[in-house]
Amino acid sequence: MKSPLPSYSLYGEHGRTTDIDWLHCESIAERSRLHDWEIRPHRHELLFQLFWIEKGRMVASLDGQELTLKGPGVLVVPPPVVHGFHFQPNISGHVVTVLGQHLVKLLAEEPLLATRLAQPRAQQLDAAQAASVGAAMQALRNEFNTAHDWRSISMDGALIRLLVTLARCLPAPAEGGSPLGARSLQHVQRYRALVEERYRQQPAVAALAGEIGITATQLNRVCQSVLGCSSVAVLHARLMLEAQRELAYTTMTVKQIAHHLGFADAAYFTRFYQRKTGVSPTQWRAACGKVALAA
């Protein structure tokens, strides 16, 4: 049975330690060759992706708009843009997938950098830019593929280097851009940070909106504008992500996981999970190759 992992879950292999489940790095060929070089349109609610095309060509569909990118070049796909790809079989390059909440925390002190990376972008690179991006990507790959001490913090450093290098290659936004857009992004970043801190308590969205200094209606509006989903969906997606981590990487019972995530009882948690995925937590755990313990 194929794992019914929802679109907003991390790409990753069973058995990886959870200290690095916020980032995944692989060659483009590694996944796309399994699908005859065609990735059908899909979306991630909470994942940021960066494609580095060293050589070859790809055709991308971003929210229904088709474009062609030849290497060397980069493609930025923030959440929740609908995207699909067709790659040439001889393509050479890599894709980095980062959990959105981690990226928000990493760039919290640099809102202009976060804004530069918040829109889907396809950018051809000149030789000097390609060399810089390629070197930064290689440094991140080296950290990802090692098991040295302080690996997570070293990966953060390598990721920041890559993002800064990439952002410097992207055209600056036009002068006189909408300040409301930047303000909306800041509200969403703050909301995601609050969700990350408190999702286990399942706080009321209105209470979090009040801490940001806006109403629940305004928060929902900016989430729809920036993320393409409701403010409640952001909270639910974070709960789902943690539920799947605990189902896949721990031997906690379904009842224990339910209580750990702030649900009143296991039955309510199971109904919530089944609404989101179409399967029960026990079925999902079994599909991941885990032996479910009796709840």
Low-confidence ranges of the chain (pLDDT < 50): 1-19, 175-180, 290-295
| Domain containing residue 210 | 179-234
Considering the domain architecture, whether residues 22 and 126 belong to the same structural domain is answered as: yes
Q: How distant is the alpha carbon of residue 172 from its chain centre?
A: 24
Considering the domain architecture, whether residues 154 and 197 belong to the same structural domain is answered as: no
Position 271 scores a pLDDT of 95
CA dihedral 238, 242, 244, 247 (to 10 degrees): -160
Considering the domain architecture, whether residues 192 and 136 belong to the same structural domain is answered as: no
Q: What's the token pair of residue 66?
A: 């088709």
**Is residue 198, in this structure, part of any structural domain at all?**
yes
Considering the domain architecture, whether residues 156 and 72 belong to the same structural domain is answered as: yes
Considering the domain architecture, whether residues 44 and 187 belong to the same structural domain is answered as: no
Position 260 scores a pLDDT of 94
Position 63 scores a pLDDT of 75
Distance CA 69, CA 101 (A): 28
Q: Total domain count for the chain?
A: 2
Position 289 scores a pLDDT of 63
User: 10 Å Cβ neighbour count for 74?
Assistant: 25
Position 130 scores a pLDDT of 96
Considering the domain architecture, whether residues 74 and 156 belong to the same structural domain is answered as: yes
Considering the domain architecture, whether residues 26 and 47 belong to the same structural domain is answered as: yes
**Is residue 282, in this structure, part of any structural domain at all?**
no
**Is residue 6, in this structure, part of any structural domain at all?**
no
User: 10 Å Cβ neighbour count for 150?
Assistant: 9
